[in-house]
Structure 1
Amino acid sequence: MAGSGEHIKALVRSHASGDEDSFYAVASQIAARAARQGHNRLASDLKRTIDASRRAPVATKGSVTSLAQPRGDLADLVTASYPSVGLRDLVGPSPLLGQVHRVIAEQRQRHRLQERGFAPAHRLLLEGPPGTGKTLTASVLAHELSLPLLTVRLESLLSKFLGETASKLRTVFDAVESQRAVYLFDEFDALGGDRSGNDVGEARRILNSFLVFLENTGPESLVVAATNHRAILDRALFRRFDLVITYGLPDHEHATAVMQARLGPLAKHVDWQLVIELVDGLSHAELVQAAETAAKQALMRDDEHVTAADLVDALRVRQTASRA
């Protein structure tokens, strides 16, 4: 690599801070260093890339920096994160995992699909009980596609900006079009609930605005809506999504897989037959919490392996809490 470690660190720092001039200055230094070392083709390619990027329209520049640090109105509406969980962390039935794999595959080949007149799946509705992996799926999509996850603050949209919600939604969807990312509308029923009763004023206008914005989104970003209450969603919503993925409580096989995935080598000697009857009714999140509790108990007594008894105790606590 022609650039030194210091050059690379300087590039990252200038990119993260949004200092475009410094970024290009460091890139030019790398090109010059490549030329001095006799890497003439690399130096020439770098210079052409730098010149072309400087001439690019402003709207295409700095999008990653903007996503890392949302500014202006967008900063009040979204929270940015860069998830580290991948497909290996997502446990579920084969049909559900197949749908997630499909979305990732279509996004990775979106340009090829678009060249032939097809749009990749990019508007997703995730529905199912709390703690079953909906938010985790959004994180997995972001990680696997190397995109930021922008979680929309629905409480701000619906309370802080009461009376301005439709215009704030436009701000979010403008970002959807200009800045590639995964945009998560969590607890979406707060926005998309059926308003066919007496509440037909501002709430209806908000929902109608969302439907229009959603239908007009392009395939560069993913819009993911997650809800615990499919039954109360306005029926007009479902046909606007490219894919509806349904989540449920894990069966015995998947419950075991969830705990094994979280425990890793710590679960090497667990007799799962002694544990399995206690997983009924527990969500993905509750099983992870039980596994973590068992792991901490084992580690605090200086044991390198979790026992079935550790998991039984932890699962009983979760069962009691879930019934409270």
Structure 2
Amino acid sequence: MATADQVKALVKSHAEGDDTRFYSVALQVAAGAARSGQNKFAQDLRDLVDTLRERTSGRPSRHGRPVPVAQPKGELAQLLTVVYPQARLADLSLDDDVRVRLGRVLLEQRQGDRLRSHGFHPLRRLLLIGPPGTGKTMSAHVLAGELRLPLFVIRLDGLITKFMGETAAKLRLVFDALSETRGIYLFDEVDALAGERGASNDVGEIRRVLNSFLQFLELDTSESLVIAATNHPQLLDRAMFRRFDMVIDYPLPSSEVVRHVIQNRLAAVPTGRLAWAKIDEAAVGLSHGEVATAAELAAKDAILSGDGQVTTTALCTSLRDRRAHHPG
């Protein structure tokens, strides 16, 4: 059930009209209920939050201006895809340092006018680095959901051509869109665009593309958030790191985070008495995404076999199988 602090946070956020905080705390209560075995209550509460979000999605919020529905048109449609995420920070299982940093971004964005009145600008350029499956892309969804902004994903396959002039012109279109429509703009796998300029296999055209990208970043004064993500930070040109307000390093999950991921994935199915020490050992070296996939597979096996519950043995077997097929 809800803790005393959660009840107080619910009341305070309701009184202040902070829907985002209210729903976030409510989902924390749901997650806690699921971990304690109250699966029906947890699901009912999640469904209620989703229903309330839909009802209030068109209502102006005190903590962010509503953004009109935006769909890229013309050539931009080949460069951007747009989604409107509902994810919240409370939904993510993250390392404490990552959660604190994302919370700081949200705080500064929500208090942007206050910062600007003192001559400062809120954090809005983020570089996310770390192994695949550790939550980088999902963090962009969370920031969009929390700030009620559209998430634009830049399609690098449409952006990068063999002709430098075309690529630079397409980059300009993207950065023009940043200024015209406030949103979250995600450059995923940005190392394809911003590799080290001194690399031995580099060519002049690629260096000029990178220089154009860095210049556009430097000149951008929009209110949009620019997020670049990479699984290979060692490939990035060093100048990239200087262009971003914050670099967030996503590590592989700790034992605590592994447990949280598994509990969330198994919230809707019965489990036996889980031996967490054995599960922690089986999960070493796996990412958040791989742990979640392994937990889901164990849950489906339990459902299809008719056993009815996920056991430590089944979960460890699924995790070890995932690790056996881990690249590298």
Q: TM-score, normalised to structure 2's length?
A: 0.75
Change (3 A) 1:267 1:129: farther
Contact kept in structure 1, 2:291 and 2:319, CA below 8 Å:
yes
Change (3 A) 1:219 1:266: farther
Deviation at 1:197, TM superposition (A): 3.7
Contact kept in structure 2, 1:99 and 1:245, CA below 8 Å:
yes
Contact kept in structure 2, 1:189 and 1:232, CA below 8 Å:
yes
Q: 2:187 aligns with which of 168, 185, 188?
A: 185
Contact kept in structure 2, 1:122 and 1:219, CA below 8 Å:
no
Q: Deviations over 1:108-136 (max 9, x none)?
A: 11122112211110000000111111101
Say yes or no: does 1:202 pair with 2:212.
Answer: no
Deviation at 1:64, TM superposition (A): 2.6
1:132 is matched with 134
RMSD of aligned residue pairs (Cα, Å) = 2.0
Contact kept in structure 1, 2:297 and 2:318, CA below 8 Å:
yes
> Which one is further off, 248-257 or 277-286?
248-257
Percent of residue pairs identical: 51
Contact kept in structure 1, 2:164 and 2:209, CA below 8 Å:
no
For the residue of structure 1 that corresponds to 2:152, the secondary structure is strand
Aligned residues: 261
Say yes or no: does 1:256 pair with 2:259.
Answer: yes
Change (3 A) 1:91 1:301: same
Q: How do residues 4-153 of structure 1 correspond to structure 2 at under 5 angstroms?
A: 64-65=68-69, 67=70, 69-153=71-155
Q: Deviations over 1:148-197 (max 9, x none)?
A: 11110112111376540111001001111110111000001001110214
Q: 2:217 aligns with which of 214, 219, 227?
A: 214
For the residue of structure 2 that corresponds to 1:151, the secondary structure is strand
Change (3 A) 1:160 1:300: farther
1:321 is matched with 325
Contact kept in structure 2, 1:124 and 1:245, CA below 8 Å:
yes
AA aligned to 2:285 is G
Say yes or no: does 1:310 pair with 2:314.
Answer: yes
2:293 is matched with 289
Contact kept in structure 2, 1:121 and 1:219, CA below 8 Å:
no
Contact kept in structure 2, 1:184 and 1:225, CA below 8 Å:
yes
Contact kept in structure 1, 2:178 and 2:222, CA below 8 Å:
no
Q: Which runs of 5+ in 2 are unaligned?
A: 1-65
2:228 is matched with 225
Deviation at 1:304, TM superposition (A): 5.2
Contact kept in structure 2, 1:183 and 1:221, CA below 8 Å:
yes
2:5 is matched with none
Q: Distance in 1 between matches of 2:82 and 2:163?
A: 20
Deviation at 1:271, TM superposition (A): 3.0
1:237 is matched with 240
Deviation at 1:276, TM superposition (A): 1.7
AA aligned to 1:145 is L
For the residue of structure 1 that corresponds to 2:247, the secondary structure is strand
Q: Which runs of 5+ in 1 are unaligned?
A: 1-61
Q: Distance in 2 between matches of 1:81 and 1:141?
A: 12
Q: Distance in 2 between matches of 1:310 and 1:153?
A: 39
For the residue of structure 1 that corresponds to 2:120, the secondary structure is coil
Change (3 A) 1:234 1:103: same
Deviation at 1:262, TM superposition (A): 2.1
Contact kept in structure 1, 2:270 and 2:308, CA below 8 Å:
no
Structure with more helix by fraction? 1
Contact kept in structure 2, 1:182 and 1:222, CA below 8 Å:
yes
